[in-house]
Chain A
Amino acid sequence: MNRKRHSPGGSLCAAGMLFYFLAFLLPAVRDASMTGYILAVAVPCLIFLGSYMLPHLVPVDRLLMTLTNLFCAMGVLLRFSMSPSLAIRQAVCFGIGILVMVCSAAMMQRVRPGAGFLLPAAAISLLLTGLPLLGKNSVGLPGWMELGQSSLQPGELGKPLLIPVLAGLLSRRRLLPALGFCAALLSLLLLQRDLCGALILGGTAVLLFWGATGNWILLILGLAAETALAGAGGLLLPSFRLSFLVPPVSPADTESAALPLQNCFQLVSSGGLWGAGLGLSSPQEIPSGQSEFSFALLCHSFGFIAGVCFLMLYAALLWRGSSAARTARRSFPGLGAMGAVILIGLQTFAAVSSTLQLLPLTGAALPFISSNETSLIACLGLVGLIHGVSGMNEIALEEDASLAMLERSGA
């Protein structure tokens, strides 16, 4: 009964499946692309499995799941317009991300914020964040490291762990250890010159501290520290800004490094209100590896109105996640879900704003849609935290209902 009440995403999911089926099928028919045919079946199947089947197996929020699936499928579609092989890779990461999401939800439902969980999780997340300092960075962007034939961002994979650690410490009112943990993370990120990652993580920590304690002084001090960090990194140290410009063609050459930014902005504006059309856009305008331009590519292909719709869907996702956090019975899951919501929200804002030239090009990946595969898996892991809390809320509601029935029958 409760599950039905909490699953209003059915029609949205069906519409999304139909849209993506046609969106992959039509270019596949036009270009006689076998990859297109495969994706036309595989992507709607992934959406179906995630949105219809998974809620029957594990307690997850179906609307949240549907929204997440629609975002991820859009990422695959955008990659398909660039290169079919990229789309296949993105679809595989989408599938892996769903598995990570299920694991993350199960972790959130089972762990207790004791030392047995907090210490190892904090150590692993610090290790993952600091790992790029030890490895070889062939991408040239902060936070990346080479692993075999490919590159990844290990710090992103630490996000689904660091949020529960922070939530656990805050729920137990261990403010000093929480501050120390955040300081260590920020130091590691700044050592990698990842100013954007540090600002997003710092903002998440500040808002989560305020959400847990309600301490206005802490909030003001935290925001002031964030502003000072942004000012120092972005203005006083131009090398910081240069390190975030994409692609790192020549770190010394400001003009050539600023060129992709112009392309990105023009890509959004040239799409107009309704876009250049599916398969008719010119994604070759932007470098294929630059995940930060996903929103620009979305607006160019489907128009600015589609961009607005997707931002509204992001807002819906944030609100849904926040409602799971608000209805949590205990502080730890509530703070965990809220931390995930804040991190996704700030990352979305950073990615969209830098695409639209409201902020310097930061290097933040648009959650779920970006071609940054590590970010995709990490974001799905973060959503898994929210699913875990949502599942706990549902179980609590069912227990309440059964208790009420027992009391009524006893009376």
Chain B
Amino acid sequence: MKQQQFRFRLITLFLIALLGAALLGGLRTISFTGPSGDLRSAILRLTGQETASPSPGVSVPPAASVSPDAEASPGAAGSPAVSPAPSSDPELSTLGLGEIGPAVSPTSTLLPLSEALSGYFSAAESLAPSDSAGTGSSPEPPAAP
């Protein structure tokens, strides 16, 4: 009877291990870029890497950086030349998730999308020579990643 109990215990542990294996296999689903709160965003929030954005009050989407070439093209006020974020970030690749999706996805920002977009266009306007005189606030250009 004791041996049978031991075997029952082993079988139960085996079943629980199967469920654990399924769980570990399921972790790869959330490495996809979801609409909100994927694993990458959670890790970035926890490690504070996502807060490497410009000064508070200035909302520039972290997924894009404004190119200096924007000043040389005055006609491009509404559509600034934007260079996407580099596709491979050494800090992010250490997380083991860098292979899937862009290095910093638009969904991994703490800002709401509407706020980020408004900051995006206000930054572009400030960089344009024709609009820079009348505007009250001119956000600093973000640091390159």
Contact string against B for A residues 261-275, beta-carbon threshold 8 Å, 1 for contact and 0 otherwise: 000011011111110
* Shortest Cβ distance from B7 into A: residue: A211
* Shortest Cβ distance from A322 into B: residue: B12
Of the residues A207, A268, A274, contact of B29 by C-beta under 8 Å: A268
Contact residues, B1-60 vs A (CB, 8 A): 1, 3-5, 7-9, 11-12, 14-16, 18-23, 25-26, 29-30, 32, 34-39, 42
The answer to whether B18 and A272 have CB atoms under 8 Å apart is no
Query: Quick one: given A214-B3, A322-B9, A341-B12, are A349 and B19 in contact (CB under 8 Å)?
Result: yes
**Across the A-B interface, how many residue pairs have beta carbons closer than 8 Å?**
106
Query: Quick one: given A273-B39, A273-B42, A319-B16, are A331 and B4 in contact (CB under 8 Å)?
Result: yes
User: B residues within 8 A CB of A318?
Assistant: 12, 15-16, 19
Q: Interface SS of chain B: helix, strand, loop or mixed? A: helix
**A5-13, A25-33, A128-136, A303-311 - the one binding chain B:** A303-311
The answer to whether B19 and A346 have CB atoms under 8 Å apart is no
Of the residues B9, B23, B30, B36, contact of A311 by C-beta under 8 Å: B23
Chain A: number of interface residues, binned into ranges:
35 or more
* Shortest Cβ distance from A270 into B: residue: B34
User: A residues within 8 A CB of B5?
Assistant: 326
The verdict on A356 contacting chain B, using a C-beta distance below 8 Å, is yes
Of the residues A211, A214, A331, A356, contact of B26 by C-beta under 8 Å: A356
- Tally of contact residues, B, Cβ under 8 A: 30
The answer to whether A270 and B35 have CB atoms under 8 Å apart is yes
Query: Quick one: given A272-B30, A272-B38, A318-B16, are A308 and B7 in contact (CB under 8 Å)?
Result: no
Contact residues, A248-267 vs B (CB, 8 A): 265-266
The verdict on A137 contacting chain B, using a C-beta distance below 8 Å, is no
The answer to whether A307 and B36 have CB atoms under 8 Å apart is no
The answer to whether B30 and A322 have CB atoms under 8 Å apart is no
Contact string against B for A residues 206-245, beta-carbon threshold 8 Å, 1 for contact and 0 otherwise: 0100111010000000000000000000000000000000
* Shortest Cβ distance from B42 into A: residue: A273
Of the residues B1, B16, B21, B37, contact of A303 by C-beta under 8 Å: B37
User: A residues within 8 A CB of B3?
Assistant: 214
The answer to whether B23 and A308 have CB atoms under 8 Å apart is yes
The answer to whether A311 and B22 have CB atoms under 8 Å apart is yes
| A residues neighboring B (CB under 8 Å) | 207, 210-212, 214, 265-266, 268-274, 276, 299, 303-304, 307-308, 311, 314-315, 318-319, 322, 325-326, 331, 334, 338, 341-342, 345-346, 348-349, 352-353, 356, 358
What are 20 A-B contacts defined by CB distance under 8 Å? A214-B4, A268-B26, A268-B29, A269-B34, A273-B39, A299-B26, A303-B37, A304-B29, A304-B30, A307-B26, A311-B19, A315-B16, A318-B12, A318-B15, A319-B16, A322-B8, A334-B8, A338-B8, A352-B19, A353-B25
